[in-house]
């Protein structure tokens, strides 16, 4: 097993001022934490590949509108919608970063507060996205209309599904923070869900560019 407890190195040096030194971080204070975070980075590589494939497919078919609405027609009516989504998600990534920062300061209370705000922003994003999808569908632009729309709903929807999972996951970790407090294990768990959250943010920036901006132009 990863943790050789007898070798668990408590790397905290007791000098709280040098929090940016990786060896001092709570989530990296056990060998188990280090291995799991490394494993999670590897998982992210596979998720990058997953999205890359979806993007590639989308780029191949996004002009294949088969007499259905084109990207330009759809997204022009929705600029404020996808801008609001973007704003909500980018802000949530920022608040998630603040939560991490508070964690490294050892302030569990503020960590939880920023997590709640992150969750609320995530929910806002999801709500906006569902409204957008609903709008498009009620205009008759469904996944069955054209290859372009199949690609659109699948790519953006996969990201949305990731966000949903992220919200469930972060809530579970919030619960554990409340229940068990901030320790090497909960810190590692929050750190990992934070990585995931930032990753979704980056994917969204790409969606924003490749799907929406390219679409309106």
Return the number of the residue (68 or 97) whose C-beta is nearest other proteins.
68
Q: Is 154 in the site for other proteins (CB under 8 A)?
A: yes
| Residue 38 interacts with other proteins (CB under 8 A): yes or no | yes
Question: Which lies closer to other proteins via its Cβ, residue 43 or residue 101?
Answer: 43
Q: How many helices (H) and strands (E) would you count in the chain?
A: 7, 0
* 2 touching other proteins, by CB under 8 A: yes
5-9 contacts: CB < 8 A, separation 24 or more?
7/31, 8/32
Secondary-structure breakdown of the chain: helix, strand, coil percentages, each rounded to the nearest 5: 80, 0, 20
Single out the residue of 9, 16, 45, 79 in contact with other proteins (rule: CB under 8 A): 45
Under rule CB under 8 A, residue 107 binds other proteins: no
Cβ-based neighbours of 85, under 8 Å, separated by 6 or more: 125, 128, 129, 132, 204
Stretch that binds other proteins, among 46-54, 83-91, 106-114, 123-131 (CB under 8 A): 46-54
Among 88, 128, 145, 207, binds other proteins (CB under 8 A): 145
d(CA 79, CA 93): 21
Among 11, 12, 47, 107, binds other proteins (CB under 8 A): 47
Judged by CB under 8 A, does residue 164 bind other proteins? no
């Amino acid at each position: 097993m990863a943790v050789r407890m007898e070798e668990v190195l408590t790397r905290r040096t007791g000098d709280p001022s040098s929090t940016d030194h990786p060896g001092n971080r709570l989530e990296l204070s056990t060998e188990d934490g280090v291995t799991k975070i490394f494993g999670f980075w590897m998982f992210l590589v596979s998720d990058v590949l997953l999205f890359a494939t979806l993007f590639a497919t989308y780029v191949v078919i996004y002009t294949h509108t088969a007499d259905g609405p084109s990207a330009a027609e759809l997204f022009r009516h929705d600029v404020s919608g996808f801008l609001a989504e973007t704003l909500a998600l980018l802000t949530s990534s920022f608040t998630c970063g603040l939560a991490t920062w508070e964690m490294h300061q050892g302030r569990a209370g503020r960590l939880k507060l920023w997590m709640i705000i992150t969750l609320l922003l995530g929910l806002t994003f999801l709500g906006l996205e569902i409204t957008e999808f609903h709008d498009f569908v009620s205009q008759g632009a469904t996944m069955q209309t054209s290859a372009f729309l199949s690609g659109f709903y699948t790519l953006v929807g996969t990201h949305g599904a990731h966000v949903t999972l992220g919200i469930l996951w972060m809530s579970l970790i919030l619960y554990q923070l409340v229940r068990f407090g901030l320790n090497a294990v909960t810190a590692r768990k929050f750190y990992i869900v934070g990585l995931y959250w930032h990753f979704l943010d980056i994917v969204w920036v790409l969606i924003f560019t490749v799907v929406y901006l390219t679409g309106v132009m």
